[in-house]
Amino acid sequence: MNGDFRRQLPSMIGMASMFLVTIFLAMFIRPWYDRAGLQAFGAEGASQLRYIGLELLMIFIFTAAILALARYKKEWVIKYGIMGILFIALMYASVPLAHQIMVDDTVTAFEYESTDVTEAEYLTEIGMNQYIDSIRTNESGIINNTIRLNQLGMDEPVWTSVIPHGTESYEFTKLVVATGPDTITINNGALIHTLSLTDGTLLSTYECFEYDLEGNILPIVQFGCILAVETSDSVYIVDGGEKLHRFATFDETPNVMTLQAIWQLPSEMKVVDDLIEAELLDDTHLLIVSKEMAGVVELEKTVSQIGDVGSGFQQTAKVLINATSSANFSAADVGYSNVADVPMSEADNGNQLIVLGTEDGDIMSWNYQPGEEELVVEESKVSINNFADQIRDVRLTDIDNSGYTELLITTEDEARLLYGSSMVQRLIVDVAEGENVAVAFGDTSEDVEDDTTHLHATVIGENYSTTSGVVESSMFLSGGIVFEDVPTLIGLLVSIILMILLYVHSEWYVVNTVGILVGSGVIVMLGVSFVPTLIMVFMVAAAIYDAWAVYKSKHMLDLADTMINLNLPILLVAPQGSDYSFRAERAPPSTVISAPSTDDPVSPQPRERVIKKNNDAMLMGLGDVIFPGMLVLSVLQYIGGDDGWIMAITTLIGSLIGYSILMWYVGQGKAQAGLPLLNGGAILGYIVGGIMTIGMAMFQFNISL
């Protein structure tokens, strides 16, 4: 037995080398697939279990079809059908590989040019390229807030408005802002001011307290005015107990309001220190985003029971969406949808897109569509699970002034521009660290002349600093599928030549070349299409099926024989000697090294003999390479960064350990199905790498049916 093992050792090492080459080639061509957005079921399908079930179902159907055709002597259908599939699969690798080698897709590096520190309180973003800040002054005990609307790229504010801070509020109390379509409401717990967004005119001021007969100050709501927003005929106030109060206002008595109704908001919708954003979508709906919950609150006018202020039973407020995040929301924006069919100038309704980001890297979005039967509908095209490790900012923008918007997402360390409805990443820029950031584009006068734009990254703290740099067309990544004429032609010719050689001269080196290319193409296509958790589900199901098909039903052995007899050796061949000829190898098989591919139905595993002659070889089906490789590619795609590379390497090492165990059995002449050991080793390697890096987050990909 030891002699047989030593004799087969060169074949085992050669097979392991081809195993690694196939996976590394898939890693090399992955950027082309990534730029092209070639996920089999779209970004949203990457975490949906039903598509894994669909893949398994297609494998079963394909296997049954091949066996049925073989039984009814339709070998010519099998042969030419699979040759056609192989040709397509070859181009999955040959065309991207030619582009990766021949096309220079390097981009000009973005560089920040200047940093400005502003001694002011950053309040909120307005639209695509504006924001509100405040400068507080105290002159002889009179405290004022100078509110400024600033536009990125402009040296001077669009407008400036001075509002009193009042003596009833603590001097250093932060301002809480709620924006609206045309106004902005600013509250400091004592005074509520509403300003026009057009020119900064102070439209109204309301007090959050009143005096009793003895002159004592009494709050108008029990737990304080935390958040306030003014509509056409009301002021709505949210207090520290998550209660929503409606105060009616009257044109004939300015700055006077009367309590009319109270509702109870969900307990998770905390606004004390947890408010992320508040925006009045229209006169009857308010978006509130807190750390634990986000929702669109319906601003009703009456309730069946009012009760005393701050006490008694309150009717539950109507809240649309009711979105929650265990990791907390961290960013929000409202604007024109980046997946809309028409430009903003042609839109005939008030539809808006609500986009939220979470601290664990998810993007959630909803269409707010007034006048429609369903007011709020989830927008699946813009909802992305596990986009990054963390989301710090989201912004709907229009970088090229096309009238269509793009989505700018700032992760833990970079800003990524997802372009148009295809949401292909077109620009990636490093962003400074900081818990709160706001990233947007804004044109200077030089930008207008030079046909460029500026990216502005604002880090928000006690004051705020804005770092800016020029974005030029040479900095953009290639978007969508890129087919350059020469690389595409070369990839096509290589595939044609290899298919001809496979047909007329199926020697082991031709078989290996085809196998490595086909394997790498399938690995990267499926690897980028599913998150690691679903890939592991796929691997476990395939390993169980593989073992059953080899040891129990044995129908995979019949399938393998059919493929070999039809001269369709879609596998990897590791000869033990230089005089080996695969074409001459037609002896009846008796033992199995590994089972047919259950991932790629066109790559079955033949039953191999226990080799006793020096000119024999070891054979392995492509499925034994494809499944571990898919997990490696999925880790790089959906975890990424240094953690992703560490986990990819441990996954690869785990699969090689599984391969070594498989070869130990083979060296003893024992038949083995390959996937249980190979897949098991890869999964264990993934888990070990996850424990070393990201912990239980390795399984948290928001899997859905």
pLDDT classification of 610: cutoffs 50, 70, 90:
very low
pLDDT digits (tens, 9 = 90+) for 456-511: 999 998 899 999 999 988 888 766 667 788 999 999 999 999 999 988 888 888 98
Q: Which of 164-178, 346-360, 539-553 has the lowest mean pLDDT?
A: 539-553
- C-alpha 411/C-alpha 330 separation (Å) is 11
Counting residues of the chain whose pLDDT is more than 70, the rounded percentage is 88
Mean pLDDT of 513-536: 92
Counting residues of the chain whose pLDDT is more than 90, the rounded percentage is 49
CB atoms within 10 A of CB 253: 9
Please state at what angle helix 641-667 crosses helix 623-638, rounded to 10 degrees: 170
Mean pLDDT of 131-150: 94
- C-alpha 181/C-alpha 279 separation (Å) is 9
Q: Are 317 and 297 in contact (CB under 8 A)?
A: yes
Q: Are 188 and 175 in contact (CB under 8 A)?
A: yes
3-state secondary structure of 3: helix
- C-alpha 498/C-alpha 308 separation (Å) is 83
**DSSP symbols for 668-697:** TT----HHHHHHHHHHHHHHHHHHHTTGGG
Say what the pLDDT of residue 663 is.
82
With 80 as the cut, is the pLDDT of residue 288 above it? Answer: yes
Query: How many angstroms separate the Cα of 663 from the Cα of each of 9, 62, 608, 618, 629?
Result: 9, 29, 13, 10, 18
C-alpha 389: how far from chain center: 10
**DSSP symbols for 77-142:** HHHHHHHHHHHHHHHHHHHHHHHHHH-----PPP---EEEEE-SEEEEEETTTEEEEEEEEEETTE
With 70 as the cut, is the pLDDT of residue 588 above it? Answer: no
